[in-house]
Amino acid sequence: MTEHESGGLAPERGSIPGWSAGDAVNVKDESQDARTFVRKHRPSADGAKARAEPSNPATPKTLPQSTLASTDGRHIYSESRERIVVPRQERGGGRSSLDIDLREVRYGATSKGVYLRVIPRQQQFKQRGAGYFEATAEGSRPRGAIARVESAIKQTILGSPFATSRLIHERLTKVRALGVFSSDPLSSAAYSAEEIMLVLMLAGAGALYLTLPVTGALLALLWTVRLSYIQTIKAYPNGGGAYIVAHENLGVTPALIAAAALLVDYVLTVAVSVAAGVAAITSAAPELFDLRVPLSLLAVAVITWGNLRGVRESGAIFGLPTYFFILCFSGMIIVGLVKLAIGEAPGTFLHSAPASQQIVATSGLSVFLVLRAFSSGAAAVTGIEAISNGVPAFKPPESRNAQITMQWEAAFLGFFLLGVAFLATRYGIVPQPDETVVSILGREVLGKNVLYYAYQVGTAGVLLLAANTAYADFPRLSAILAKDRFAPRQLAFRGDRLAFSNGIMLLGAAAAVLLVIFQAQVTRLIPLYILGVFISMTLSQSGMVRHWLRLREHGWRLSLVLNAFGAVATGVVVVIVGATKFTEGAWISVIAMLALFCVFALIRSHYGRLERKLRVDESEVPVAVPAAVSSEPPRDHVIVPVDDINKISIGAIGMAREISSMVTAVHVFDDQQLAEQFRERWARAVPDVPLLLLESPFRQFVSPILACVERLEQTESRRIVVILPTFEPRHWWERLLHNRDVLRLRPFLKQRKNVRVLDFPYSPTKNNDY
């Protein structure tokens, strides 16, 4: 029986030609309803004819003939596959009705002889509604040898791909979120005091007593920023990063400045954190000092890999080191305070200990020097804004969970900063070029034993993984910029594991370049690091002031005061950092921000100009589309992939209707809400051209289209014609801004004998649209 005779592939009234619910839905499982036929072969003189024995003899069927014996009578294995139609017995008793199901026949051999097994045919689509199908894992599998090898490698390294429906399950609890978002600010306790002391010691050992007052000023700044950002989280429960707040309240230009500052800060966060982590390792193992650059690059690669596996998995991978650091660092501070209380420390609670070595002063103690020390230590406050940027990553209720996590983070960070600064002055610690201050302090408090090495492992681990905070926010901000047409659209695409893979890899590559240029030295990277984050903080808090003045919601006065105070405080830090660190390297960050700002403007200009040139009046589209050719019955079924209603898609539809009266537009999507909106627009604009919606849960484009074409080949006697609408950019760099997946379809389609492939290239230059 052929497919056509079975009747199972007949088109449903009102549906897409050649498609039906019976084709798309895998109705039953083999273990329940499939009837397995076993063909046993017994050698005979004439070559061993095969006979079929159904496992359920109630409804015998004739199986397709296939020669499984060689000319000399020996049984051989045939890899050929044939399709047969197998009737299935309906449950419930009474007279059986035949529900035709398409299945595959596979031949094989065992030690007991040759057999034949009928297995269920794997379905490529599930029907979700009229003209709406969802691609299954089979329909989304990669096509072609190269793509399959690439997919196998990715699955080995990253794991199996996730469907978009799992996105809600990738969100973080408060405990995991603390490990993901707080590793950056918490880790700054490992080098903030050292950066302050390195500046103060320029005035001699006698100036190191100011480490504690400067740290106190940093704590005041920390709690001011915390209160300010809690107001931001309340006002923006769906995520209120500096870019979003500035864009809504201050305008496009301040928003792009904030975005550029944040992106630069995230790259430097990775570089500084990894360099500090490697410094902790080399402090415990000095023989590795010359390998700090290769070790840093290895750490970046490992963190990038962890984040490519997905947000939830990165929380599981990187959360444990954060909590181990909290345990070890808290234990060291508590032991140090106990020794101080029982008189086993050089100093007392009220008096600092003398410096462990003499320091020759190279500068006088001045207000400017103290401000320099404050600006160096201000790195401790960086990263605290990450939670407000990543509110959507929390499990519901997102806003409440984010506020609680920020309070936990600020409490731990305040305890660590104050504890290290206090103990460093009470134990007479002096910074050394080949060992960090926290390493020296840990050795003095714990002794050089197992506890010290565990403490160093915890410190190195959280410093290395502090970069994970940037990996959580850089891709998310890049995706927002891409959706707003300020960055390449590819940055908004989610990878196989639902992470913004392109943004993650871009961040890792940029951080690796910085580590190589600056030889993974924390002191050289710190001056570049601080300016960007405080610029974004100032713009964010200023935007919140405008927000409260504009909306005047319940409790707005208190929130206004807190955000205004935060804006002033962070603005003062920007001035201090700019005045004290500009010549030391902050100018590099300024140039990078300006360059990014120009790139954003250039990309937005390109997308905006192209959108204006391709825009069509959707109310006039039915008039603009040529009438279909008269052909009864039509010899061709023309398929046109479309992603929007514009001059490119309408032109391709017009070309299709000049070929055949049977035209189907195919729209591949992964967002159901946007797809329904597109369906409504299409029904109004092009009512006489049916639209087939293909949901791609694994965010593939090529595979679902190919599966669609294959299904039409199987169910139709007409020739399939596929028109590929393509955009031809003017310049080479514009190719980087467009997803050209349509072009990847061509080689696969041309391999199919019954499919004709036509290109519809659209060039704004040739069409006088530029």
| Residue showing tokens 């104050």 | 418
**Concatenated DSSP letters of 342-355:** TT-SSS-SSSPPPP
Q: What six digits make up the tokens of 446?
A: 């714990």
Residue 180 maps to a domain: yes
Q: What six digits make up the tokens of 161?
A: 């791909």
Residue 449 maps to a domain: yes
Report yes or no: 742 and 723 within 8 Å, Cβ to Cβ. Answer: no
Q: Are residues 466 and 331 in the same domain?
A: yes
Q: Are residues 538 and 395 in the same domain?
A: yes
The series of mean pLDDT values per 10 residues for the chain, 770 residues long, is 35 44 38 39 40 40 36 38 39 33 48 53 74 79 77 79 68 82 83 90 88 92 88 80 90 94 90 87 85 92 86 64 91 94 88 80 85 86 79 84 90 93 91 87 91 90 80 88 91 83 93 92 83 89 92 87 91 88 87 94 91 81 59 81 90 89 90 88 88 88 86 84 85 77 82 87 63
Q: What angle, rounded to 10 degrees, do the helices at 556-581 and 211-235 form?
A: 130
The pLDDT of residue 717 is 82
Q: Are residues 228 and 369 in the same domain?
A: yes
CA 513 vs CA 269, 296, 300: distances in Å:
13, 11, 11
Q: Are residues 73 and 170 in the same domain?
A: no
Residue 4 maps to a domain: no
Task: Give the whole-angstrom CA distance, residue 627 versus residue 187.
Answer: 67
Task: Give the whole-angstrom CA distance, residue 760 versus residue 726.
Answer: 6
The pLDDT of residue 742 is 79
CA angle 461, 388, 213 (to 5 degrees): 65
Q: Are residues 184 and 274 in the same domain?
A: yes
Alpha carbon 298 to chain centroid, angstroms = 21
Number of domains in the chain: 2
Residue 369 maps to a domain: yes
Q: Of 608, 624, 641, which marks where a domain is finished?
A: 608
Task: Give the whole-angstrom CA distance, residue 102 versus residue 7.
Answer: 11
**Helix, strand, coil: what percent of the chain each, to 5?**
60, 10, 30
Residue 617 maps to a domain: no
**Concatenated DSSP letters of 498-516:** SS-HHHHHHHHHHHHHHHH
Residue 727 maps to a domain: no
Q: Are residues 387 and 488 in the same domain?
A: yes
Q: Are residues 287 and 396 in the same domain?
A: yes
Q: Of 94, 121, 148, which marks where a domain is finished?
A: 121
Q: Are residues 91 and 215 in the same domain?
A: no
Q: Are residues 89 and 221 in the same domain?
A: no
Handedness of CA 49, 53, 57, 61 (dihedral sign): negative
Q: Are residues 116 and 265 in the same domain?
A: no
Residue 708 maps to a domain: no
Q: What is the CATH number of the domain that holds 287?
A: 1.20.1740.10
Q: Which domain holds residue 80?
A: 27-121
Residue 1 maps to a domain: no
Beta-sheet strands, E only, within 42-124: 50-54, 82-86, 101-110, 113-120
Q: Are residues 451 and 533 in the same domain?
A: yes
Global pTM reads 0.73
Q: Are residues 179 and 100 in the same domain?
A: no
Handedness of CA 308, 314, 316, 321 (dihedral sign): positive
For residue 715, give the nearest of 1, 2, 18 by alpha carbon: 18
Task: Give the whole-angstrom CA distance, residue 219 versus residue 61.
Answer: 82
Q: Reduce the DSSP state of residue 438 to 3 states and report it.
A: helix
